[in-house]
Structure formats: C-alpha cells, structure tokens
C-alpha cells in the first residue's frame, strides 16, 4: 500500500465569461451562457469545500502557460511544491462529479499512481496524480484536445512505470446544448440540491418562455421523486 497522507484538490476552471465565449451552449445568449458557467463553477467549488481535503481554485487569471498542457501542468506543479503527496483535479463541465468522486480517487491512491474518471466522449472528469507520477508525466505528450485523452494518459502511465486505475463510473460532459438537454432530462436523479435543479430548469427553458416553462416544471415535478440514485442517462458502468 502506498504512503499517501497529504492530498490536495485542484479545481481547474475557466472564468465564467471566458467559458461562455468558448462554449456557447445557448446560441446568441451570452447572459444565459455566463449564468450557466457561473453556476457550474460555484457548484464544483462547493463540492471541494464539502470534501475533507484542502483545495485550490486555479481559474483563468491564475493559470500560467501558453497552452492547456502548460497551464494544467503548472497548476499541478504549484500545488506539489507546497508539499503534497498527491493531487486530485476536477473541473466544471461534468456536473455529476461530487465529493464521492473525490473520495473514490483518494481510495484508489492506496494502490495506484494515476487515477482517472472517463466521460462518454473519452475526456477526463477527474485526474489524480501522486507526486511520483507527476514527476514522470510528460503533459505535452497527452492528446488533450482530442477524443483520445483517457487512452493517451493510460499509455503515458504505462510508459513511465506508474500504476493506473480508471474509475468505474462514466459520465456525460456539457460541451453543447444537446449535452445540456441530456443532463436536464436526468438531473432529478443526480446529487443536486433542490434549488440547483430549479435554477437549471429555469435557465434551460428561458424566462421569456414563461407559459411553456411553467408547464414543463409542473410536469417535471409530477414525474420525479427526487430520489438520489444513479440514472442510466448519467451513470454508466
């Protein structure tokens, strides 16, 4: 069993306004896009706060580097330099990620140096690295901008001699309006607060469509019990 005693969380996100420009979920509606990513940023930060680990939010203004690989690597590096044995990174675009996800990565560190959670589009919703794995990792060799991120990280782990674990859960990420539609249809079965569910439904259906919006909300409440469990739409094994 590995001796991992000091673990930190890295909340690696873009500022909401920048994310809204790069991912126009609601076409032609900058305000709603910014509201969405403000909500998603706050949500993942609150999950970090609720965990048992120290956390660091590194958003756009604090990120250092010319491209994503550099910025991500430097974020990890800045935390490891504070004396941590391992770092768990999370972002804002996979709303199913929560403190239980973080705990799963922590548990996997007992036997593994590299822990990853995979999305349905082969991205990563969490990446955990021990200090040993980070010291060997070539971030520039990972295909961050492709749909081969998970396989690329797994291959790098094998090459560098790090033990590797992929979490069982596979989640959807929100990169488009269609992605958000899938999530909205299943949001009642996620570990979201009641107010969070209301906010997302209201934002999704738009306050300008008031009549249709009211009917949809009534239908939504009549069809769900808000039971906390994994939904087939969001939780794949």
Contact 89, 43 (CB under 8 A): no
Please tell me the predicted confidence (pLDDT) of residue 188: 63
Q: Are residues 167 and 195 in the same domain?
A: no
Q: What is the pTM of this model?
A: 0.84
Structural domain that includes position 196? 177-222
Please tell me the predicted confidence (pLDDT) of residue 10: 98
Please tell me the predicted confidence (pLDDT) of residue 236: 41
Q: Are residues 24 and 138 in the same domain?
A: yes
Q: Look up the CATH number of the domain holding residue 58.
A: 3.90.550.10
Q: Is 19 helix (H, G, I), strand (E, B) or coil?
A: helix
Q: What is the mean pLDDT of each run of 10 residues along the chain (237 residues)?
A: 82 96 93 95 94 94 93 96 97 92 94 94 93 90 84 89 93 90 76 80 72 46 38 37
Buried b (16+ CB within 10 A) or exposed e, 110-140: eebbbbbbbbeeebbbbbbbbbbbbebbebe
Q: Are residues 56 and 114 in the same domain?
A: yes
Q: Is 7 helix (H, G, I), strand (E, B) or coil?
A: strand
Question: What is the C-alpha separation between 151 and 231, in angstroms, rounded?
Answer: 25
Please tell me the predicted confidence (pLDDT) of residue 121: 87
Q: Are residues 167 and 181 in the same domain?
A: no
Pairing of strands 86-90, 7-12: parallel
Please tell me the predicted confidence (pLDDT) of residue 226: 36
Q: Are residues 126 and 215 in the same domain?
A: no
In the chain, % helix, strand, coil (3-state, to 5) comes to 50, 15, 35
Domain count, the chain: 2
Beta-strand ranges (E) seen in 75-148 are: 86-90, 114-119, 124-130
Please tell me the predicted confidence (pLDDT) of residue 207: 56
């Amino acid at each position: 069993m590995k001796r991992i005693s000091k673990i930190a969380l890295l909340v690696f996100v873009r500022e909401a306004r920048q994310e809204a420009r790069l991912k126009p979920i609601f076409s032609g509606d900058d305000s709603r896009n910014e509201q969405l990513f403000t909500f998603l940023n706050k949500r993942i930060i609150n999950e970090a706060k609720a965990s048992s680990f120290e956390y660091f939010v590194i958003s756009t203004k604090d990120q250092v580097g010319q491209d994503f690989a550099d910025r991500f690597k430097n974020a990890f590096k800045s935390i490891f330099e504070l004396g941590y044995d391992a770092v768990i990174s999370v972002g804002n675009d996979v709303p199913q990620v929560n403190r239980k996800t973080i705990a799963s990565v922590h548990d996997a560190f007992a036997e593994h140096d590299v822990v990853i959670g995979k999305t349905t589009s082969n991205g990563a919703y969490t990446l955990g690295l021990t200090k040993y794995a980070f010291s060997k990792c070539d971030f520039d060799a990972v295909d961050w901008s492709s749909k081969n991120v998970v396989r690329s990280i797994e291959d790098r782990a094998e090459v560098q001699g790090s033990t590797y674990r992929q979490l069982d859960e596979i989640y959807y990420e929100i990169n488009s309006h269609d992605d958000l539609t899938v999530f909205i249809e299943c949001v009642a079965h996620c570990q979201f607060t009641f107010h969070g569910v209301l906010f997302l439904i209201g934002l999704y259906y738009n306050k300008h469509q008031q009549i249709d919006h009211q009917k949809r909300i009534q239908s939504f409440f009549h069809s769900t019990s808000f039971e906390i469990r994994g939904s087939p739409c969001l939780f794949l094994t």
